[in-house]
């Protein structure tokens, strides 16, 4: 006789049905444990994705340099001195730090008016960028294109507008590419719409409130000379930004007579460090999730084992009679372990299904305009791992009761009867 032939399986079902209240109570512990584990895993995945969406579009190996006021005197210059970076700093970094892949400058002008006919969008930020700035902050183009090298070289009067600017200037919707808008008194042709929200990292203003023009045009139109408001750079693959950022600080500081240890004079925003903190945070969260979930699940499995012990004790006579009429110890062992495993699996799979339904409801609540903000679901292989874990725990939960059942002697069972 096999462990799970038709007769054995029928006996298992009969045993579970005869003790419905006890089986429900036992199964609820496993159901609740796996439900909490899957719910926490899916919720953790969704929360991490929501947080990562705040930094969507930014390269994870980026560093951004801003100029501030000096806080230390250096080489005859007093503290509190203001200074500006320039295009020579961009060339210095390209030549002196070979580990850098992209080095691009950017300029910004705040509080500029943007108009299209009678419709006005206030508080727009004009940004002057190069085409390679897209490697720093990847645009989500709803319409058109981003700046290219020809736009920069020819100082074309074109622009890429942000989401908020588009919604206010073009409330009727549609593709605005080719239409002209008035930006701070000058007319520009729209070539693209960037749909980035820019909620997580706002570099000199939110991306949704930005009008991006060629940096060469911004220099001439606003008489900015050689000034650069910030320099953005990315490291080559395999290079850790923390290893080269001190050298970047030293190179720029030396050219502008700034104390090398004056951190207030030069701000370095290292996105690689930010993403590393997020990863470490959620690694700790995932560890706690598994710790809490497995603890709850183990408590349920211990309950299954205890209930099976009680069941074996109540079925002493039945087991003894079966032994007397020829049932082998292996058959008794198989039935008890199979009963424990089936009870654990049924309750556990119910918990997994219920958690998936709850997470699906959360996803529906997080969907806006047909767009899902973050997937609150359990990964497939995690669910498979959980089902396998339930099987193992079901077998473990049945080992002690099965061992007790195998020790029952037919003569002792008859005497008890």
Q: Which two tokens stand for residue 417?
A: 């009867």
- Answer yes or no: do 310 and 391 share one domain: yes
In a domain, 133, yes or no: yes
In a domain, 120, yes or no: yes
- Answer yes or no: do 35 and 164 share one domain: no
Average pLDDT, the chain: 80
In a domain, 22, yes or no: yes
- Answer yes or no: do 174 and 113 share one domain: yes
- Answer yes or no: do 48 and 123 share one domain: no
- Answer yes or no: do 171 and 298 share one domain: no
At residue 212, the pLDDT reads 93
In a domain, 65, yes or no: no
- Answer yes or no: do 27 and 154 share one domain: no
Tell me the C-alpha distance between 98 and 131, whole Å: 21
Tell me the C-alpha distance between 207 and 146, whole Å: 13
In a domain, 66, yes or no: no
**Final residue of a structural domain among 189, 215, 241:** 215
Tell me the C-alpha distance between 177 and 125, whole Å: 19
Residue whose C-alpha is closest to residue 336's, from 16, 21, 27: 16
In a domain, 49, yes or no: yes
- Do the Cβ atoms of 265 and 70 come closer than 8 Å? yes
Tell me the C-alpha distance between 296 and 287, whole Å: 14
In the structure, what pLDDT confidence band is assigned to residue 196 with cuts at 50, 70 and 90?
A: confident
Q: Is the pLDDT reported for residue 255 higher than 50?
A: yes
In a domain, 264, yes or no: no
> Tell me: the pLDDT tens digits for 397-415?
777 766 766 666 655 555 5
Mean pLDDT of 57-77: 85
Q: CB 357: neighbour CB atoms within 10 A?
A: 9
**Final residue of a structural domain among 194, 215, 236:** 215
Report the chain's terminal Cα–Cα distance, integer Å: 27
In a domain, 111, yes or no: yes
Highest mean pLDDT among 117-126, 196-205, 395-404: 117-126
Sign of CA dihedral 41, 47, 53, 55: negative
pTM: 0.68
Q: Is the pLDDT reported for residue 328 higher than 80?
A: no
Tell me the C-alpha distance between 341 and 41, whole Å: 24
- Answer yes or no: do 160 and 41 share one domain: no
- Answer yes or no: do 42 and 114 share one domain: no
Q: Which domain holds residue 147?
A: 106-215
Q: Following DSSP, what letter does each residue of 224-290 receive, concatenated?
A: -TTEESEEEEEEPTT--HHHHHHHHHHHHHHHTT--TT-TTTEEEEEHHHHHHHHHHHHHHHHHHHH
**Final residue of a structural domain among 167, 183, 215:** 215
Q: Which two tokens stand for residue 335?
A: 């039935």
At residue 2, the pLDDT reads 44
User: What total of structural domains would you count in the chain?
Assistant: 2
């Amino acid at each position: 006789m096999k462990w799970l032939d038709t007769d054995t399986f029928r006996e298992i079902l009969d045993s579970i049905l005869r003790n419905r209240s006890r089986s429900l109570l036992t199964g609820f512990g496993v159901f609740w444990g796996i439900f909490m584990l899957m719910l926490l895993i899916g919720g953790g995945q969704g929360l991490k994705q929501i947080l990562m969406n705040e930094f969507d579009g930014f390269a994870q190996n980026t560093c951004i340099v801003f100029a501030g006021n000096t806080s230390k005197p250096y080489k005859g210059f007093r503290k509190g001195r203001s200074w500006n970076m320039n295009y020579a700093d961009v060339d210095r970094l390209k030549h002196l730090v070979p580990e850098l892949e992209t080095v691009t400058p950017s300029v910004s002008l705040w509080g500029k008016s943007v108009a299209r006919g009678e419709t006005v969008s206030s508080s727009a930020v004009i940004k002057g960028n190069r085409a390679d700035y897209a490697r720093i902050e990847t645009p989500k183009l709803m319409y058109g294109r981003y700046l290219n090298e020809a736009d920069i070289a020819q100082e074309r009067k074109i622009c890429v507008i942000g989401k908020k600017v588009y919604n206010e200037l073009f409330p009727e919707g549609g593709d605005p590419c080719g239409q002209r808008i008035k930006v701070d008194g000058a007319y520009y042709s729209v070539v693209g719409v960037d749909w980035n929200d820019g909620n997580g990292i706002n570099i000199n203003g939110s991306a949704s409130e930005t009008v991006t023009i060629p940096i060469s045009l911004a220099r001439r139109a606003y008489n900015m000379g050689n000034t650069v408001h910030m320099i953005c750079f990315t490291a080559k693959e395999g290079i850790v930004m923390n290893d080269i950022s001190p050298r970047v600080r030293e190179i720029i500081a030396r050219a502008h007579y700034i104390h090398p240890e004056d951190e207030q004079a030069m701000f370095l925003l290292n996105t690689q460090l930010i993403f590393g903190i997020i990863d470490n945070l959620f690694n700790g969260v995932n560890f706690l999730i598994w710790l809490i979930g497995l603890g709850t699940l183990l408590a349920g499995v211990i309950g299954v084992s205890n209930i099976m012990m009680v069941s074996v004790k109540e079925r002493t006579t039945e087991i003894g009679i079966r032994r007397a009429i020829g049932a082998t110890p292996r058959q008794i062992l198989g039935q008890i372990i199979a009963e424990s495993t089936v009870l654990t699996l049924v309750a556990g799979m119910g918990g997994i299904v219920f958690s998936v339904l709850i997470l699906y409801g959360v996803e529906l609540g997080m969907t806006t305009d047909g767009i899902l903000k973050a997937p609150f679901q359990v990964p497939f292989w995690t669910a498979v791992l959980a089902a396998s874990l339930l099987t193992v725990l079901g077998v473990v939960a049945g080992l002690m009761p099965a061992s007790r059942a195998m020790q029952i002697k037919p003569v002792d069972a008859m005497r008890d009867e």
